[in-house]
């Protein structure tokens, strides 16, 4: 009796499947600069390029983004199942792009940048630099 187990698909395993010695390199993998990916080590460094050769990564990224995840270049296929499991990592909110959120308190750096005294001082320096350039 045959038994089936899950199949883990990551960049090195995809490279091995697509570039098996008996397959005569039916599908040469290329990176974003159009160079041939020739080893599993190179496949690890160019994960997105390897996955793009088989999967529509834009669709994968959009599926992972909905629950707040980033695709982690790892897919698990269950035998007999009509779906796959994609591994993702949780996206951390970027503290530098929170200026649209009004509930976030204004940092001291932002306060300094909007201080009228600092603005006036910067304008005065700019005028003095312009005068020096004219002379």
Say if CB 29 and CB 19 are below 8 A apart: yes
Say if CB 118 and CB 112 are below 8 A apart: yes
List, for residues 7-32, the tens digit of each pLDDT value.
Answer: 888 888 888 888 765 556 567 788 88
Neighbour-count burial of 55, counting CB atoms closer than 10 A to its CB (0-12 exposed, 13-18 middle, 19+ buried): middle
Say if CB 70 and CB 94 are below 8 A apart: no
Residue linked to tokens 């490279």: 15
Two structure tokens written together for 25: 């390199």
Overall pTM > 0.75: no
CA 119, distance to chain mean position in Å, is 37
Give the C-alpha distances (Å, rounded to integers) separating 54 from 20, 82, 130. 16, 17, 57
Under the banding of pLDDT at 50, 70 and 90, the label for residue 102 is very low
């Amino acid at each position: 009796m045959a038994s089936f187990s899950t199949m883990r698909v990551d960049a090195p395993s995809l490279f091995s499947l697509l570039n098996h010695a008996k397959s005569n390199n039916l599908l040469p993998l290329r990176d974003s600069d159009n160079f041939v990916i020739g080893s599993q080590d190179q496949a690890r460094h160019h994960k997105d390029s390897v996955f793009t050769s088989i999967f529509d990564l834009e669709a994968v990224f959009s599926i992972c983004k909905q629950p707040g995840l980033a695709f982690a270049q790892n897919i698990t296929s269950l035998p007999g199942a009509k779906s796959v499991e994609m591994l993702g990592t949780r996206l951390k909110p970027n503290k530098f792009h929170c200026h649209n959120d009004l509930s976030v308190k204004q940092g001291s750096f932002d306060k300094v940048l909007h201080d009228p005294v600092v603005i006036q001082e910067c304008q005065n320096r700019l005028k003095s630099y312009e005068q020096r350039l004219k002379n």
